[in-house]
A and B are shown apart, each in its own frame.
Chain A
Amino acid sequence: DAGVIQSPRHEVTEMGQEVTLRCKPISGHNSLFWYRQTMMRGLELLIYFNNNVPIDDSGMPEDRFSAKMPNASFSTLKIQPSEPRDSAVYFCASSPGQGGEQYFGPGTRLTVT
């Protein structure tokens, strides 16, 4: 079975550019999460969806960040405009339901110069 798929795996962009990160959750999972991980702050939840509906976006740092889940098999996290402090690893995870079993994708390593 394919796990959570994320693309791109690495992204290097210049400050001010738009960045779009993509995620395909595990088929049948009804919850999807976007996390950001840095050395300073660890793993932070940005937003999560349940049945394609955004439930909690309180972790989204600023209006420059937006996330969508148009269907059960696809989600995007967009940063516009990007800034150097956005440099981090962004993980997408999915879960089959309530509880703590979340399955993470390999992450997108974002560098904004």
Chain B
Amino acid sequence: RKEVEQDPGPFNVPEGATVAFNCTYSNSASQSFFWYRQDCRKEPKLLMSVYSSGNEDGRFTAQLNRASQYISLLIRDSKLSDSATYLCVVPRGRGGGNKLTFGTGTQLKVEL
């Protein structure tokens, strides 16, 4: 299994739809996980952190399934401005530390 694996997409959804992305990881010792967002030709920015079973922030919900080693990101009532690439991020090694492994990203396109 790759360190971090994501479906590259693109996911094309209409405005207002609910969309979910999954990400699988190989390091069973990882304690924390992250979703970053990257707009076209811009830098990645932290979207959400996941330290336990999940986290919710407005329209965004991140969930963690340790047994199956996957993380999901759910976006409700999607907006045009949600169009971006979503990167799943997992710390490397036991305990994590500073080193992160970034997935290659899932591209989301929200359309009228």
Contact = CB atoms under 8 A, between A and B. Distances in A.
Interface of A: 31, 33, 42-43, 45, 48, 50, 55-56, 91, 95, 98-107
A95 B101 CA distance: 15
A78 to B, nearest CB: 21
B96 A105 contact: no
A91 B98 CA distance: 16
Nearest to B32: A100
A100 B43 contact: no
A43 B100 CA distance: 10
Contacts of A98: 96-98
B102 interface: yes
A110 to B, nearest CB: 14
Contact of A105 (B43, B49, B89, B103): B43
Contacts of A91: 43-44
A99 B50 CA distance: 11
Contacts of A42: 102-105
Interface residues of B, number: 22
A26 to B, nearest CB: 13
Interface in B53-112: 87, 89, 91, 96-105
Nearest to A101: B46
A43 B37 CA distance: 13
Given A42-B103, A42-B105, A43-B102, A100 B44 contact: no
B104 A48 contact: no
Contacts of A55: 98
Contacts of B44: 43, 91, 104
Given A45-B100, A48-B99, A95-B98, A100 B46 contact: yes
Given A42-B105, A43-B87, A100 B42 contact: no
